[in-house]
Amino acid sequence: MDRNWLGNLPPHNPAASSQNRRILVIEPSQELPLALRGVTGVSITIARLRSLDSEFLTRTAPHVVLSPLLTAEFDILDLTRRLQSLGYRGHLRAYTPRLPDVHVICKEVATIWPELNFEVYQIDPEDTQQ
């Protein structure tokens, strides 16, 4: 499976620390794609939205923030606003089951933060099975 949806992470350098490529996963759900489980050469940090503040972002320094599109507590628009207010400069990726038109979501995110590198990763049912 193509893992480019994670964004332009720095190239993996086995001689360097695995800390050189960092993914922050916010509130992972059961639908966390198998594609993420197969990624190597990265540091993955899992966090709750409520723990996301400027100190946490500085400490973890993620290249990519990955989150479900929608949870019971927040949606990707809430997370977009939070990241923007904290000065985040990396990529944002959302994952969700297949939707009829993800471009609508991308437009909404772009309305909030036009410069953000944002994509929606649509999960097929087979992507969530072991």
pLDDT value at position 2?
A: 42
Q: What is the pTM of this model?
A: 0.81
Residues 96-119: pLDDT tens digits? 999 999 999 999 999 999 999 999
Describe the strand order of the beta sheet including 91-97 as a list of residue ranges: 43-47, 22-26, 64-68, 91-97, 117-123
Residue 104 lies in a domain: yes
Q: How many domains does the chain have?
A: 1
CATH of the domain at 103: 3.40.50.2300
* Residue, of 47 and 33, whose pLDDT is higher: 47
Nearest-Å Rg of the Cα atoms of the chain is 14
- Please state, in angstroms and rounded to a whole number, the distance separating the CA atoms of residues 121 and 56: 25
Q: Which residues pair with 120 in a beta bridge?
A: 94
Task: Give the structural domain span for 20.
Answer: 16-128
pLDDT per position as a tens digit, 17-30: 544 689 999 998 76
